[in-house]
Chain A
Amino acid sequence: NAGVTQTPKFQVLKTGQSMTLQCAQDMNHEYMSWYRQDPGMGLRLIHYSVGAGITDQGEVPNGYNVSRSTTEDFPLRLLSAAPSQTSVYFCASSYGTGGSFGFTGELFFGEGSRLTVL
């Protein structure tokens, strides 16, 4: 059981380049999301999805694009990279609203993708 898999783990871009961070989960989770972690800021929500075909913006969506064509995959696209997007990016997934006993709403995170924009 791989859980949440993010690729690449490291990437260096030049300003203006585009790229896609990949995220895949094998737990059949409904919810998927992307966070970025910056020093002194904690993790901040970029975009999230409550199911295939449904996405919405989080706290810091500008400069990022997402789509969710399958339950398993939730790629994050940077259309024109800027130095302010230098960060560590985490993809997460979770069960739906469930309602089953013991449901905690916990997010399962990938190992992160470290992006540097020069």
Chain B
Amino acid sequence: DQQVKQNSPSLSVQEGRISILNCDYTNSMFDYFLWYKKYPAEGPTFLISISSIKDKNEDGRFTVFLNKSAKHLSLHIVPSQPGDSAVYFCAASEGIQGAQKLVFGQGTRLTINP
């Protein structure tokens, strides 16, 4: 059973527009969430995180929204740039102290078209 789900395997967005990547989770014990970005032949790199005490966290062009009641989070990228083309993984843990033991979603491949 997949505790963290990214139901869109791929997403295509025009350069300059907003990219919205979605993630759902089922485990109520998860209260810390992270997004990672992965280029081909490289390891994932950390993008942004959010604790369940917040509903929004922003870092430059990247904003993560958390809806605890719906067990849903989303990553917004505005404006989207060609360099944002990558696979994005949502991950969850039980507290920031548990972030060493992440549960990942399947990933969404984002393609930014010029």
Contact = CB atoms under 8 A, between A and B. Distances in A.
The answer to whether A and B come from one shared complex is yes
B73 interface: no
B104 interface: yes
A112 to B, nearest CB: 6
B104 A58 contact: no
A101 interface: no
Contact of A106 (B6, B34, B42, B107): B34
A31 B89 CA distance: 21
Interface string B37-70: 0000111111001000000000000000000000
Contact of B104 (A4, A42, A112): A42
A41 interface: yes
B17 interface: no
A106 B100 contact: no
A72 to B, nearest CB: 17
A41 B104 CA distance: 8
A50 B45 contact: no
Interface in A68-109: 90, 92, 94, 97, 103-109
Contacts of A110: 43
A72 B41 CA distance: 23
Contacts of B36: 107
Contacts of A90: 43-44
Per CB-CB distance, the 6 closest pairs between chain A and chain B, nearest first, are A105-B99, A109-B43, A106-B46, A42-B104, A43-B104, A31-B100
Interface of B: 4, 6, 9, 32, 34, 36, 41-46, 49, 89, 91, 93, 96-97, 99-107
Interface of A: 4, 31, 33, 35, 40-45, 48, 50, 58-59, 90, 92, 94, 97, 103-112
13 contacts: A4-B43, A31-B100, A33-B101, A42-B105, A45-B103, A90-B43, A94-B99, A105-B93, A105-B97, A105-B99, A106-B34, A106-B46, A107-B100
